[in-house]
Structure 1
Amino acid sequence: MVDESAVSFVKQGLEVSQTEINASKMAQTTSKNARVINFAQMMIADHAGVNDDLQKIAIANKIAASDSIGAAHQAAITSMANNSGVKFDQAYIQLMINGHQEAIKIFNVAKSDRNEDVQRFARKTLPVLMMHLDSANAIAASLK
């Protein structure tokens, strides 16, 4: 059973996750901070898995979805890219904090969706997203 909330969840989840992957790839090559680079590598690996799972849900439920990102998320990445050194790291980590806060809200709603695939995936992924947010907050505190 696919309703508008399931469609919205899959599309928003893919966009937020892809934004984090794109920003993390940039951080991986731009940052000089080992903690930031390691975090970026974890984001790329974990969110590639999230995207794969969301694509499978999209296919199984005949939801037309892509992993492209919208103008607002692209603007955030562009803004981050205009920095260097510690300012870049701070901008990247703040983008990760904001993205994970957004994702956690989306996933909290989705864990009670009528679609069982969406429910199961949201419940499975939510603890990982919360761990990512905790890690990003810890790195942010160390960058001040």
Structure 2
Amino acid sequence: MKLRLLLFVFMFSAAIVAFSDRFEKDSPDKAFVLAAADGGMLEVKLGELATKNASMAKCKEFGEMMIKDHTKVNDELKALASKKQIAIPGKLTTAKQQMYDSLSAQTGEKFDMLYMNMMIASHEETIGLFQTESNKGKDPDFKKWADAKIPALKHHLEMAKGLFPAASKGTGN
């Protein structure tokens, strides 16, 4: 529990640092797009790691689902952002890259536990981001798109929460 809280605090503070300077002059909708794209890219990259480094079959399967689902969502976001003339960077922010790097150094049972913990924290953060856009965004297209993605994100979160106990004990193949 302490690890999850510590990870969440790290992710949240890193996200604030990574985006605070960049968005002072940008619209909240653009900030949402960039944050959502960064998170989506991370989900895919971490999913790729899971397919290689996880020891539990269910963690590998979850990683495959993250690759498939978030690649689709990322492509949708890129298309919508392009219509709005918002360029999405092709690489992770420093904070997200650090998260990737820390997980990529792990294998086996430790990887499983940390990956599922990251998935819980990441999806909680992403749901908050999407709910904020859905409720307070200015662009109707982004608001509608964000609102439509919340149920799938909540489903991913529940699945990650369901896998975490087995991953943290090193069981559950």
Give the TM-score taking structure 1 as reference length. 0.94
Structure 2 Cα separation of the partners of residues 64 and 76 of structure 1: 23
Q: 1:114 & 1:83 partners in 2: Cα distance?
A: 41
2:94 corresponds in structure 1 to 71
Partner of 2:72: 49
Task: Give the corresponding residue for 1:133.
Answer: 157
Residue number in structure 1 paired with 2:120:
97
Instruction: Give the corresponding residue for 2:139.
Output: 115
Aligned to 1:15: 38
Count matched residues. Answer: 142
Q: Among the aligned pairs, what percent are the same residue? A: 29
- Map of 2:8 onto structure 1: none
Distance in 2 between residues matched to 1:78 and 1:94, nearest whole Å: 15
Q: Which runs of 4+ in 1 moved over 3 A?
A: none
In 2, the alpha carbon distance for the partners of 1:95 and 1:24 equals 11
Gaps of 5+ in 1: none
Q: 1:142/1:84 Cα in 2 relative to 1: closer, same or farther (>3 Å)?
A: same
Question: Aligned-pair RMSD on alpha carbons?
Answer: 1.2
Q: Does structure 1 conserve the Cα–Cα contact (< 8 Å) formed by 2:134 and 2:147? A: yes
Work out whether residues 55 and 107 of structure 2, in 8 Å CA contact, stay in contact via their aligned partners in 1: no
Does the 8 A contact of 2:53 with 2:106 survive in 1? no
CA–CA distance in structure 1, aligned partners of residues 43 and 66 of structure 2 = 7
Q: CA deviation at 1:19?
A: 0.5
